[in-house]
Chain A
């Protein structure tokens, strides 16, 4: 299969990259990773060879996902992580959770629905913040706000 062929080539390159990165290390530092890199290259070569066989191993494709929403959600999560240190855990958490929930809502967002979503997340995030930050003294990302 084409995807397996590309994957095996990528993994051979990854193995080679790891091998090359071990140059200049001491014997105790490189011996184990080199074995692993070789192991990965060898296995990837076998996978590459398998793609030319007539009988192919079963593929695990799972269900089809709507990539459009995933591609929108990932930048939102990324922006959230960046903003964690700026806005703080509570504020950024409420904003992010609300945006993602509204994005995933099948119905068109109405004002009352948005307000209820935000209200739910204020309660949820504050509960977590209190439990972790105040009760268990687990540090959460600080920011200029809370």
Chain B
């Protein structure tokens, strides 16, 4: 191992590799910041460029792109209330209110520091704890995936604190939309209203763009007579170090969210889209000032951004140890490994240890370099967006939504679906339904349905097939977590009352 490590170090510290990482970071940041272009797409698009490279160089470039893309999603989440990737949904909740207050630059810096922190924690877990963590992920069967989806849905009680019923209705709408198309088991065609284009279902990214971007662009258009710019840019001298100190004081939130990100990343099929919302929920529950979340509070950004970048390291753990991709971009990395003649699995650490250690160390370096590259790009983007008049910004947002929704499947129908969902999202927003729970339902729907139906099939051997959901200890852990999460607003109120009485 030591021999492979020293070889990896000597290979990494060359001008060519560092430049390649920086190029990957720039590319990843720009792709991540564009709504609709996900980390999976960015990594997949760049695969042909790696054909002519050595396996190590190819993995280093794609790793840097992957890491930066997840972080880049926070830029558009903060500046235009549109998550660049599904991993940044939670960042909109506090990032955008900060941008509207003229604190967009501070929000971007918080996202940068938290992303770097989360990325490093994820890579540390990847380096030291790969085999034991991967074996824990294997304990998850269909009933556990179903309960994990239920646990995810209970997050709505924290997300929609203003009106929990409306939050859960939004979640149910999202879950129902996710069932449109061919059933995952059995192959029935459902709820397509006769449109063959809907058989493939509603693409998550298309729905995400629709529910977040279009209502925002419509609001800008609707308020055009009141505002010339989206927000005012305040000059804040010394913001770089001051924000760093502020973020570093939140060690509990940073560490908790990074660990959540790593664990969710390890679970196949979950990924950053789930991790950022789970971490946000846990940050609210652990906070003594939960009422500040959603109003432009840095703890919210810290939770989502540290967790989604920790997913990168976490997702690679089952990939390199078991040959199972943890998150969708890892599936593309799986393909890249195969293309270069490397079989993902336990033997990677024995037969190709130098390549794997070089890749892991390059991820670490990419995460560190993300700090200067991210700060430069983030500040430049912030200045551009706040200086751009709304009459240009709103059409450009719509323009980007069209590119994003079309390029997922090269289907014009997806653009129509995006617009329809966008109009629905705008109406629902006006009626007090937040897009967060709807998209959460969309993300968790396929995970929940697959787990639910597969578990019922597994349960056929039991006297009562429904007992499969309560048959395993890990299921009970998730059931208890879901119950606590669901009742948390009530528990928190009781606790707060108790604290107040004690203080008196």
Chain A residues close to B by CB (< 8 Å): 3-4, 7, 11, 14-15, 18, 21-22, 25-33, 36-37, 39-40, 43-44, 46-47, 50, 57-63, 65-67, 69-70, 73-74, 77-78, 80-81, 84-85, 93, 96-97, 100-101, 104-106, 120, 124-125, 128, 132, 136-141
Q: Is B128 an interface residue (CB 8 A)?
A: no
How far apart are the CA atoms of A124 and B419 in the complex, in Å? 22
A37 contacts across to B, CB distance below 8 A:
176
> Please, how many angstroms separate the alpha-carbon atoms of A62 and B430 in the complex?
7
Q: 14 A-B pairs, CB-CB below 8 angstroms?
A: A3-B431, A18-B176, A25-B190, A40-B169, A60-B432, A66-B225, A84-B412, A97-B395, A100-B398, A101-B391, A106-B224, A137-B48, A140-B406, A141-B406
B395 A96 Cβ-Cβ under 8 A: yes
1/0 contact string of B146-163 vs chain A (CB within 8 Å): 000000000000000011
The answer to the question of B251 belonging to the interface, with a C-beta cut-off of 8 Å to chain A, is no
A78 to B214, CA, bound (A): 13
**B175 contacts which chain A residues (CB < 8 A)?**
36, 39
Q: Cβ of B394: which chain A residues have Cβ within 8 Å of it?
A: 100, 104
**Residues of chain A with a CB closer than 8 A to B430's CB:** 61-62
Is B5's CB within 8 Å of the partner chain A? no
| B456/A36 in contact, CB under 8 A | no
The answer to whether A65 touches B223 (Cβ under 8 A) is yes
B: residues with CB less than 8 A from A are: 45, 48, 162-163, 165-166, 168-169, 172-173, 175-176, 179, 183, 185-188, 190-191, 218-219, 221-226, 228, 390-392, 394-396, 398-399, 402-403, 406-407, 410, 412, 415-416, 419, 423, 426, 429-432, 434, 448-449, 452-453, 456-457
Q: Write the chain B residue with the least CB distance to A11.
A: B169
Asked whether, in the complex, the Cβ of B222 is within 8 Å of the Cβ of A70, the reply is yes
Residue of B nearest to A74 (CB): B423
Report A-chain residues with C-beta under 8 Å of the C-beta of B412. Answer: 81, 84-85, 141
Task: Note all chain A residues with C-beta closer than 8 A to B48.
Answer: 137
Pair A21/B162 contact, Cβ less than 8 Å: no
Cβ-defined contact, A65 with B219, below 8 A: yes
CB contacts (< 8 Å) of A14 on chain B: these are 173, 176
Chain A residues positioned under 8 Å from B390 (CB to CB): 104
Residue of B179, B221, B228, B403 near A73 (CB, 8 A) is: B221
Residues of chain A within 8 A of B45, CB atoms compared: 136-138
How far does the alpha carbon of A141 sit from the alpha carbon of B166 in the complex, in Å? 37
Across the interface, do B185 and A28 meet the contact criterion of CB distance under 8 Å? yes
Question: Assuming the A-B contacts A43-B169, A44-B169, A138-B45, are A32 and B410 also in contact, with contact meaning beta carbons closer than 8 angstroms in the complex?
Answer: no
Partner of B190, one of A22, A39, A43, A141: A22
Q: How far is the CB of B37 from the nearest CB of chain A, in Å?
A: 8
**Cβ–Cβ < 8 Å partners of B416 in chain A:** 81
Alpha-carbon gap, A122 to B448, bound state (A): 46
Known: A4-B432, A32-B448, A43-B169. 4 other contacts (CB 8 A): A44-B169, A57-B162, A60-B163, A66-B222
Evaluate contact between B406 and A31: CB separation under 8 angstroms. no
Cβ contact within 8 Å between B223 and A25: no
Q: A18-B176, A36-B175, A50-B165 given as contacts; is B391 within 8 A of A104 (CB)?
A: yes
